[in-house]
Amino acid sequence: MTKDENSAKRPTLKDVALAAGVSVATASYALNDVGSVGGDTRRHVLEVAARLGYRPNLSAKAMRTGKTSAIGLILPDLTNPFFPALAQNVVHAARESAYSVFVTDTQGSPEAERAAAQALIQRGVDGLIWFPINDEDTLAHLTGGLPVLVLDRDNPRHDLIQIDVDSGGRMAAERLIRAGHRRIGVISGPTDVRSSRQRSESSAEVLRRHDALAWHLHNAYSFDLEPTVAAAVADGSVTALCVGADLIALGAINTLRQRGLRVPEDVSIIGFDNIPYGALAFPGLSTINIPVEEMGIEAVNTLLRRIAKPTESRRRLVFDVTYVERGTVAPPPTP
């Protein structure tokens, strides 16, 4: 029971320098591969550092350099099946560049979002990847000059990564037209965000052009359909549905089945998002795929570039979507 039982304090740079017989400055230069350090000395320091298991104290480094090698990821809701894959890829891409990620889930609350941003800034993150609740530029004055990458929303001052939702909405509508449907309902998700609204409007526009738009309703982002929507879905007024979000689409399928209608024999459905659930349904949900994985990776890359070059001109990346055919589209029933 000696005093230092197993308290083996992590070795500090001073310890390394001491053990290597050089000054702290030299040790630092050697380890960071800067300054002018003799080849032998450098090797020796590295060797000693390795032997002692030296790992720099990142807090100290952060204080000195003003960089934390950490970024923040602000998401509305981790349990929204759209986000885990995004978060996963952000975390991985970040790690490849030796960055760590503070993940924050704001539960769809703008106040929580503000608080989260504040907390992260206070922590001194080098940048933020931010999937905001809405399009409002509320964080602008909070973030100050901090590098921010905004996902899927509009924002006048930050780097943007977006999705070509128009094309997605059109693809879905066209697919249903091509299958022969002429009475098609559109359900859009939350309507207070441009990107979300636009999906369904693009669909609706195509359908209108073919004179095939039966109605256009909207529903909260939820598996549960609001009564009026549920009624419209199952009252026989349509033979197909163009839905702005997979989760709602799955809810629609559920409603249809509960009322004795079959998918896709009686009603065809196309969703949007390609959340993992969709592939697991029976039959699998046909949908518009959003390349979340790539988006996550590119978000990190873009943010890190911005961190490195704060003055570079604003970037705006638009990702293509693709139609994923599974099992929920069929020709309309023959009456």
What is the SS3 assignment for 139? Answer: coil
Footprint (CB under 7 A) of DNA, residues 122-151:
none
Could you tell me if 120 and 74 are in contact, meaning their C-beta atoms sit under 8 angstroms apart? yes
Beta bridge partners of 22: none
The upper half-sphere exposure of residue 51, i.e. CA atoms within 13 Å in the direction of its Cβ, equals 11
Could you tell me if 95 and 87 are in contact, meaning their C-beta atoms sit under 8 angstroms apart? no
User: What does 14 bind: DNA, a second copy, none (CB cut-off 5 to 8 Å by kind)?
Assistant: DNA
When binding is defined by CB under 7 A, the residue of 65, 79, 311, 313 that contacts DNA is 65
Tell me the C-alpha distance between 51 and 45, whole Å: 10
User: What does 29 bind: DNA, a second copy, none (CB cut-off 5 to 8 Å by kind)?
Assistant: DNA
Binding mask 226-265 for DNA (x = CB under 7 A): ----------------------------------------
Query: Burial code of 294-332, b = ≥16 C-beta within 10 A, e = fewer?
Result: ebbbbbbbbbbebbeeeeeeeeebebebebbebebbbeb
Instruction: Report the C-alpha dihedral over residues 89, 94, 100, 104, rounded to 10 degrees.
Output: -40
Binding site for a second copy (CB under 8 A): 6-8, 55-60, 62-63, 68, 70, 77-79, 81, 83-85, 87-88, 91-92, 95, 98, 100-105, 107, 115-116, 118-124, 144-145, 223, 247, 250-251, 253-254, 257, 276-277, 279-282
Binding mask 30-59 for DNA (x = CB under 7 A): -xx-xxxxxxxxx-----------xxxx--
Could you tell me if 37 and 44 are in contact, meaning their C-beta atoms sit under 8 angstroms apart? no
User: What does 23 bind: DNA, a second copy, none (CB cut-off 5 to 8 Å by kind)?
Assistant: DNA
CB of 106 to a second copy, least distance (A): 10
User: What does 111 bind: DNA, a second copy, none (CB cut-off 5 to 8 Å by kind)?
Assistant: none
Which residue number, 17 or 163, has a Cβ lying nearer to DNA?
17
CB of 90 to a second copy, least distance (A): 10
* DSSP state letters, 274-301: --HHHHHSSSPPBEEE--HHHHHHHHHH
